[in-house]
Every structure is written in structure tokens, then in C-alpha cells.
Chains A and B, each alone.
Chain A
Amino acid sequence: MQEGFCMWFTGLPCSGKTTVADALADRLRKLNVRVERLDGDIVRKSLTRDLGFSKRDRDLNIERVTFVAKLLSRNGVATLVTFVSPYIKARDNARKECTNFVEVLVDASVDECERRDVKGMYAKARKGEIKDFTGVDDPYEPPPNPELILYTEQESLEESVERCLEKLAELRLIPVEYKEDYTLEEEKTIQKRLEDLGYL
């Protein structure tokens, strides 16, 4: 039976959390892993649409998401959570509540995040149109010991996804045979070798 887990992606807005997690979800589905996504933008339109961005509301936002992630992960679902989740205390609580919690810091500089910001949120924050924006006028508390750090300024998307899969395989949360030990050419070579020896 599939073992559930909660892979929690934290980092500045536009650091690449959603992009990596969406691509990872695709890879996991191809491995027949049951996956659910809890994404900040989407959850805020439904489960937590009543909440704002005050410290209290942000804490409540994470609390509710943690509750859902807890239910999913303990019932065998690979739960990929993508929230800025800037506070250590809230993430530590999620670690306590969820099954097989894997914390992933998605690391990119503020400048790079701003460069990527297609919605113009950083610009609005700098103008004062958005208050308490993490990375501008609200602090981000990086995790001291995440299970994985993705350096999205240096790595390609494929590399980041691969590293996530490696970590999950290392933790035996996904089958270790996810990784292709052979290129197509190498696999053909080995198959031929086995055939020639009478083993196929």
C-alpha cells in the first residue's frame, strides 16, 4: 500500500514552489502515486477565502491547510503543499501533525523572485499597495534544518524535480525504481546481453 507523506514547500513568493510541485506531481502520477496539491493561491479561493493577510489570518491559513494535509498524508496520499508559510512555528506544527513530513526550502533571492513576479505583487508591495508582503516588509524565517533545499536560481526545473524524487526515494516514500538506471540505449544493451546469455 502507498505510504502517505506531506512534502511542504516553503519560500518567498515567486521562488518557484508551485512550478516545482506541479511538475513533481506529474512525475508522481506517472509512478501511479496518489497525489494531492494544496497550493496557496488555490486554497485561498476556497478553503480559506474568508482570511486576509494579517499575522493572525496567515497563521489560521496555515493551520487549516495543516489539518487537511494531516488527513491526506495519514490516509496514504502524497500531499504536496506550496505556501510561503514564513513562520518556523507554523511549519514545525505542520511537521508534528502530518505523516512523513518533508520540508523543502525553495531558495531564490528577493531580486530573482521580483524578476519572476508576473503578477506585479512585489512592485505593488514596494509602492505600499500591499502590506505585510513577505520579502519586502514582512520577515521570512528560513527553516534551520529542512530535508531538502532547492536552489531554483541555479538549478533547472528538471533538476529540482529530480532532487525531490531522490529525496522521496531515499526516505523510501516512493518506489526506488522510479529512477531510470539505464538510458534507452543502455537498456537495449543489457536486454541484448541477457538474451545472448539465455536469460531472456
Chain B
Amino acid sequence: MSLRNWLGRRRAKRRVVVIGVDGSPSSFLHAGMANNMFPNLRRLCQQGTCAELNSVFPPVSSVAWTTFLTGVNPGRHNIHGFIDGNRETGQMFIPTARNRKAPTLMSILAKADRRTAVINVPVTYPPEPVNGILVSGFLCTELDKVSYPANLAEWLRQQEYIIDADAWVAHESKERFMGMLEKTLAKRIAVARQLWQWEKWDYFQIHIMETDRVNHFYFEEMVNEDGPLAERALGIYQETDRFIGEMMTRVDDDTTLIVLSDHGFCTLKAEFQLNVWLQQHGYLSYRPGTEKKSFGDIDFAHSTAFSFIPGRLYLLTRNGEGAAGEDREHLINDLTVALKTISWPETGESLVSDVLRGSELFFGPHAWRAPDLIVHPHHGFDIKGAFGDGELWKKQDVLTGTHTYDDAFFAINATAQTPTDFAIIDLPPTILSILGVDVPEQMERSPFPVDVS
């Protein structure tokens, strides 16, 4: 090698690519690799490293990917779920990027004068100004507002880019929805391909959301290889695998490729309505004269607990303030014991795997907004938070998959020593370290060793 090339290589800055495969369970992917359905992922695992990792509590994409982008827990980044509530006004709201209180990888890298191209990551709407480009995710409703810079939206429109497949279609026709998923994925990959070539980036992240969507509506069919759409559902994963293979050929020796999911998935057995249970057991009451159907109808002065999906439990004292002191401990103990006795009438299976204390999971200036308890279900159960009267248990026929905290997937084209308690929060400091950028003090984990040589 000539001296100039050697010097050029020495000067070449490391780059990182992250392909997010939302909700893809590690066990499912490994089974697919073993059956030769995902040859590119298999090659990546064989040539590099792959591992199972944990999500975050609660294991939903808005919280998990915000934890990924910021490297801090929800008590610091302030995204606690897809919905949240303001007790003072009785209003629920949908947290957006504007509610996020911690700096993202994009802003950290911008300060280090590194360029980023980030596409479709959850809770990046409204798109923040970045050193590069940002196409925000499915919390955006209009293409005109989806991107930074704003004029990228016109090009996205010309490419017929689709922000997200319309989930309501799945409730009318699962076949039609499958067609939409296939089209959305194709358009997303096409856009990613173009932006990969055009943009000068140091950090490139493309988020495939279609894997999560196919899991929600077709997971049982896929794992059982049963039903007319099972093959096409698997096809979403195989198309993603082909895209991963394509990216593997494009990355050079100075680029680290990571494939990552934010949580696992399993077949959905039944949904459980926690607020209905809380009401039936005297923890939650509604104000007289209200319709008793919404968060705003809660009688906070006479309730001791309410919940938001999935399994986020908030404690109240009699005067409506957050529970404190001895009352709180009794309340936690009572609730924990009672929740652990709940079983699914159909099979007698226990609903609750664990009742976790928020004080042990969430810390930081926004921990006050975090749930006091996380009701963590056994695999197969989805803990919902509808208000009002209703059935405790429901079996779904449209949605056939539900999230898991464990069983998320990680793969990297390098030798990596992942930590024993490996979780999504480990990724951001490691990515910064690979890029040669100082890890900010606020990040809660240290980089794990990755040999990129």
C-alpha cells in the first residue's frame, strides 16, 4: 500500500450505519437464519457479532428509540410512552420530539462537526435542525412537515415516500394492509438508497418500521406458517434481509454496520384492561356526572391509582397528589399482591410477571412524570389502559402479536463484547466511541468494546 493511501486510511474518519428493524425478536430472526430465510443476517452474525438485548420499560418504540437516541433513561429524556397525561388539565397528549429533554445523537454529533442522515426513527417529529438530514417518523401526518431541511419533503413526495402504512386498513382487510406494507417498505428502502449515495454522512440510520407492523397483525400467522398471508408477512422480513445484504456490500472497511431492534415480539394471547381492574377493586373512581370514559373524568381526589398503556401505574394519595410515605408503601404492597393473583380465565395462566418500582427504573429531572409502577406481563399478554367500564379480558382477532421487553436483536460487522445486562441504552455511547466522539457525561452507560480493525 502506498504511503499516501496508508495516510489516507489513517485520516479516514470512522462512519456508522444503523439499520433499525423495529420489534424484530432475536429468537425469530435466529430461527429464520437457521432455516436459511435470512441469509444476509446470518452472514453478518457469522462474520461479526450478534446478541440478544433488552428493551426499556415500558417496552414500546417511542420510549426505546428515544433511549437509543439519547443514551439516558426516561426519567431524563421524558418520553414515557406513546401517550401521556397532564393531571392538572385532565388532558392526555401524544409526546413528540418537542417533549424530549435530552440531546440526541444527531445534536451531539453536530457539535462534533459530524454529519447525520436519519430516516424514520420514532419520536423525531417535529424534525429538529441537524447537521445533515432528518426524515421524521410515523407521528408525523403530513409529508410537508416530515423533514429537515423542509425542502427535502418535495423530493420525498416525488419518490412517493410513505411515512407509515395506514393501520386502520388492517382492521378492514389484512390482505390490503399487507399490500400497503410491501409498498411502504419498498419506498422507504428506495429513499434510503438514494440518500445514502447523495448525502455526506458520518452517521446513517434507516428505521424499518414495517417489521413491527407485520408483527402486530401477522405474528401468529408467521410463526405458525399458517394462513394465506403468512408467506407475504415473512416476505417483509426477507425483503429487509435483502436490504441488509445490500448495505453490507456498500459499507467499506471504515464503516461499522449495526442492525438493531428495540424490543421483542410474541404471539398475543389476550389483552387485559388495567384501569377496569383498578376501578373494580376500588383504586380508581370517576367524577359523578361525567361520562367516566376518559382520563379527564377521573376523580383524582378519591382515587389511589390509574394507569396508562402498557402497564404504567401511577399512584395517588387521597388528595390527588402523588402517593408518599407510609400510604405509598401499603399501596404498592397491596397492588403488587393483588396484581400477581390475576390469571387469564381461559387457561389459568398468570398475567403478571413482575411489578417493578419506578423509583428503581427512572431517575432524573423528569422522573416525576414516570410511572410509579410498571406492571410487566408474562409473554403473550398486553396490558391496556382504556378508561371506563368494559371487559377485563379481550381476545383479539386482528392484532396477533404483542411486545416483549426481552428478545430484542443486535448485530454488528465487528467483534464486540456485549455486556451481561445488554440493553438498548448501551448502544449510543458505543456508537459515539466507534465514531471517535467523546461520550457526554449524561449518558448512563459506558461504551462496550468493539474491535473495528
Contacts and interface: CB of A to CB of B under 8 A. Distances in A.
Interface of A: 32, 176-177, 179, 181-182, 186-187, 189-194, 196-200
Contact of B141 (A32, A186, A196): A186
A196 B168 contact: yes
Contacts of B83: 194, 199-200
A182 B93 CA distance: 10
A104 B89 CA distance: 30
Nearest to B60: A199
A181 B128 CA distance: 13
A190 B142 CA distance: 11
B415 interface: no
Nearest to A187: B94
Given A176-B99, A182-B94, A196 B167 contact: yes
Contacts of B402: 198
A199 B138 CA distance: 13
A122 B99 CA distance: 46
B125 A181 contact: yes
Interface string B152-195: 00000000000010111011000000000000000000000000
Contacts of A187: 94
B399 interface: yes
A199 B93 contact: no
A177 B89 CA distance: 13
A199 B82 contact: yes
B216 A198 contact: yes
Secondary structure class of chain A's binding surface, majority of residues:
helix
Contacts of B382: 198
11 contacts: A32-B88, A177-B95, A181-B125, A182-B141, A189-B141, A194-B82, A194-B83, A197-B167, A198-B216, A199-B309, A200-B385
B433 interface: no
B126 A181 contact: yes
A193 to B, nearest CB: 6
Contacts of A197: 167, 213, 216
Most chain-A Cβ atoms within 10 A of its Cβ — which of B96, B213, B382, B384? B96
Question: Across chains A and B, which 3 residue pairs bring their CB atoms closest together, nearest first?
Answer: A196-B167, A186-B141, A199-B82
B272 to A, nearest CB: 13
A190 B94 contact: yes
B216 A177 contact: no
B98 A181 contact: yes
A200 B82 contact: yes
B18 to A, nearest CB: 23
B309 A196 contact: no
B139 interface: yes
Given A182-B141, A192-B168, 15 more contacts: A32-B88, A176-B99, A177-B99, A181-B125, A186-B141, A187-B94, A190-B141, A196-B166, A197-B167, A198-B216, A198-B384, A198-B402, A199-B60, A199-B83, A200-B83
A71 B442 CA distance: 33
Contacts of A200: 82-83, 309, 385
A181 B83 CA distance: 14
Given A32-B88, A186-B141, A196 B98 contact: no
A196 B82 contact: no
B379 to A, nearest CB: 16
Contacts of B309: 199-200
Contacts of A191: 94
Given A193-B167, A194-B83, A179 B98 contact: yes
Most chain-B Cβ atoms within 10 A of its Cβ — which of A179, A187, A192, A196? A196
Given A181-B125, A186-B141, A190-B141, A196 B94 contact: no
B130 to A, nearest CB: 17
Contacts of A182: 94, 141
A46 B384 CA distance: 57
Contact of B399 (A32, A176, A186, A198): A198
Nearest to A186: B141
Contacts of B164: 193
A196 B170 contact: yes
Contacts of B98: 176-177, 179, 181
A198 B170 CA distance: 12
Contacts of B99: 176-177
A192 B385 CA distance: 15
A194 to B, nearest CB: 5
A129 to B, nearest CB: 50
A9 B324 CA distance: 43
A198 B402 CA distance: 9
